[in-house]
Amino acid sequence: MNSEAIYYKFVIISVLSFIVISTGAFEADAKQPFSENSTIIASLSDSGLSSTALEYYKQGMKYSKAGKHKNAITAFKKAIQIAPDYIYAHNDLGNAYVDLKKYNDAVRAYKNAIRIKPDFIAALKNLAYTLAIQREYKKEISAHKKVLFYKLDDTETHYNLGVAYSKLKKYEEAIASYNKALKINPSMADAYYNLGVTYSKLNKHIEAKDSYRKMLALHPDDPGARYNLGVTYLNLEDKKSALQEYETLKKIDSKTALQLLDLINNK
């Protein structure tokens, strides 16, 4: 059977946990992405920051929460005019631009925050997110690497770096990144899935099989992994195992199971 990736119904899962991170300092139910930020933000009123800038920032956060992103941008800009080094205002200004799909403006805002505080993880991650949207994968990779320079054990960043490498067809680098994510978090099912897809693109079907099986050990009812495992068995000339995957898959997703059966019957 032809082992080209076209036989695979499911491709690389896109970015994991690639969400815009807001500092959200003044929302009672806000989740701080990093513990050090909550300490910094909690002490803003004692750090010499202008109370007026702080009020504009609060206003911007309220507008953002209400979906009034243009108003939020105005408020964050006023905060920055008063306090040019206010990194959280720069970061959330970038977030507001992302919400309006003004990605170039968002990139500038995040870069301003990073220029002031090079190890500002939230802004670095948000920059990577925005560059991924723009399909600027080489620049995205650079942003991920900066995150890892400061936070080497960031599982999601290793994973997202793998996705970016995959977009550039740098499959060996992608595999290395997924494996680093899994070393930190062996239960990251999506990393096993993407490893399976990536190994398949390199015609490493035994490794692909092992990756899909590990993914299915965590999520046995995932139709994509079941389908791709069935295809992998066909690529390994193991029709019997492919049929077993079909039998399991038809209980989960009958439509996808029929597509796998068509491949098996044409084998």
Rounded average pLDDT over 156-161? 93
Residue 18 maps to a domain: no
Residue 6 maps to a domain: no
CATH number of the domain enclosing 28: 1.25.40.10
What whole-number distance in Å separates Cα of residue 251 and Cα of residue 171? 33
Please check the confidence at residue 42 and state whether its pLDDT lies above 60: no
Domain count, the chain: 1
Write out the two tokens for 93: 């200004």
pLDDT digits over 52-66, tens only?
Answer: 999 999 999 999 999
Can you give the pLDDT at residue 21?
Answer: 44
Residue 239 maps to a domain: no
pLDDT digits over 245-266, tens only?
Answer: 999 999 999 999 999 999 999 8
Residue 162 maps to a domain: no
Residue 164 maps to a domain: no
Please check the confidence at residue 161 and state whether its pLDDT lies above 70: yes
Question: Confidence class of residue 43 from pLDDT cuts 50, 70 and 90?
Answer: very low
Residue 76 maps to a domain: yes
pLDDT digits over 128-148, tens only?
Answer: 999 999 999 999 999 999 999
User: How many CB atoms within 10 Å of residue 164?
Assistant: 26
Mean pLDDT of the chain: 84
Residue 155 maps to a domain: no
What whole-number distance in Å separates Cα of residue 207 and Cα of residue 191? 13
Please check the confidence at residue 39 and state whether its pLDDT lies above 50: no
Can you give the pLDDT at residue 47?
Answer: 58
pLDDT digits over 174-227, tens only?
Answer: 999 999 999 999 999 999 999 999 999 999 999 999 999 999 999 999 999 999
Q: What's this model's pTM, rounded to 2 decimal places? A: 0.83
Domain interval for residue 44: 24-142
Please check the confidence at residue 51 and state whether its pLDDT lies above 70: yes
Question: Confidence class of residue 9 from pLDDT cuts 50, 70 and 90?
Answer: very low
Residue 44 maps to a domain: yes
